Structure 1
């Protein structure tokens, strides 16, 4: 029963992550919502809610305990700014300039970047699995971004740049979080990281500075979905799934996120997606599943602090 509950939680959380990106795209395109404002608001509210969950259901002493040691506090601030804020902002910017499907798939190149980083740092050796993983990622990206035509990109250049940066930021986020997650609960680390990132971005775009006159009831619903379901609940469910599933199983089931993003972008928002782009998306999905199923014990470490 616990295993079934874990599977249900991670599948639901991954779907919310993928759909949340598509809903954010709807806010950008139809209601002109500013990327800075949405990222600021999303991070601040979701961060507070995650700490509230920690306070209500887990060890509440960790919420302030994380700030008692100077070295840990500095580590957390860096993680919040260069990890959480960077990965959330670049992902949303990629959606703004392109679409949620491409942004999510490009972000999922992070495991390949981690593999390359580990090999360059001589933390692991190149394996046959690594070659397959990198090959699938490169082929997938080529078809996804060009739709089979070498002469032109099917995706706006800014969307590609932000999407690749999102993958880089996610790779940093994953690696940099590991020492923190060994000392404190994930909800504490990610909750504070969101608040730190949201607070920093507030100096650029304060969350109260927005014209909501054009907002309809539908727009408010989309906004609540992105913040509550696409961020807070999605992350909470993923973390809870780790109580009854192995990280490998949660990562495998988490590959539903890019699939949900692609399907909702194409069939709900009616974004064009060519046959070669479908092939590219399939290559990246196969790469994600391959990594989750055949990840070796001595390969690059991964964090349970997923993003969405």
Structure 2
């Protein structure tokens, strides 16, 4: 039992790190003029095909289940458009206009936003610990976007906008499939969302149009995003849920902004001052505190 838990922790950590590293990898290829829409259409379509093949092999009898009732079909379509596609597009847009570390740290505010929404939905007053969590999240965000100089933004208003939008997009991604994932296999739901989302994005921006001209290192970064940052990351994260709870897995998502920051600083030579690093650490600690003190914490699954 202990070994199974350790395996689950390892898988969830590995998946989060892969998601995190895909941020700096995308920042690298954006430097070669790759458009966000081309990246999303190509990577989602390829990931969708691979994931659907796995779903057919593993869960063949239930692959069509999400489409058998009108309620589930409508929820699937809403999730694909406003959850899967929107979340990925906005996140990578935030990386493009800001940087991978800042975008990933700001996106990590999503569980705090979900907590606020759930409190409003249940019409219940926040607990003292919830107030502390919200205050910590706001303070951490302020440090990241001002570098400790609270009278002015240290990043462009456009970068701040897309970073905050990335957090709201992650909220939609987590809340829209509510109930759907309980009734159907997460692998099947993810496969349909990736595949149909990829087809939709390909109609919007065919991946064979405007193929970027990149040197070998750019294509290696792109391959990492598709294979490891998308396909492998989703599969190992889903596999981790067989051994640990969703709450424990969501706590390990802290490795995503950590991975993005470490790679951005070491390989892309991004400079982050003490205030930014402290702000990122506070946001990560905030979500950890929320997971520990909340019976059912939001399950945050990225890119």
Normalised by the shorter chain, which TM-score bucket? Answer: over 0.9
Number of the residue aligned with 1:199:
199
Number of the residue aligned with 1:35:
36
Distance in 2 of aligned mates of 1:204 and 1:251: 32
Number of the residue aligned with 1:18:
20
Measured after TM superposition, the shift of residue 272 of structure 1 is 1.7
Number of the residue aligned with 2:45:
44
- 92-101 vs 198-207, greater mean Cα deviation: 198-207
Distance in 1 of aligned mates of 2:109 and 2:228: 24
Over 4 Å off, 4+ runs: none
Distance in 2 of aligned mates of 1:123 and 1:210: 49
Distance in 2 of aligned mates of 1:124 and 1:151: 34
- 19-28 vs 162-171, greater mean Cα deviation: 162-171
Number of the residue aligned with 2:217:
218
Distance in 2 of aligned mates of 1:143 and 1:248: 27
Is the 1:178–1:303 Cα contact (8 Å) retained in structure 2? no
Number of the residue aligned with 1:267:
266
What aligned pairs does 1:176-187 form with structure 2 within 5 A after superposition?
176-187=176-187
Number of the residue aligned with 1:307:
302
What aligned pairs does 1:1-308 form with structure 2 within 5 A after superposition?
1-29=3-31, 31-56=32-57, 58-122=58-122, 124-212=124-212, 214-297=213-296, 302-303=298-299, 306-308=301-303
Is the 1:106–1:164 Cα contact (8 Å) retained in structure 2? yes
- Flag structure 1 segments of 5+ consecutive residues without an equivalent: none
Distance in 1 of aligned mates of 2:116 and 2:253: 22
Distance in 2 of aligned mates of 1:237 and 1:90: 24
* TM-score (ref. length: structure 2): 0.94
Is the 1:133–1:290 Cα contact (8 Å) retained in structure 2? yes
Distance in 2 of aligned mates of 1:165 and 1:302: 18
How many positions carry a matched residue from both structures? 301
- Flag structure 2 segments of 5+ consecutive residues without an equivalent: none
Q: CA RMSD in A?
A: 1.6
* TM-score (ref. length: structure 1): 0.93
Measured after TM superposition, the shift of residue 10 of structure 1 is 1.0
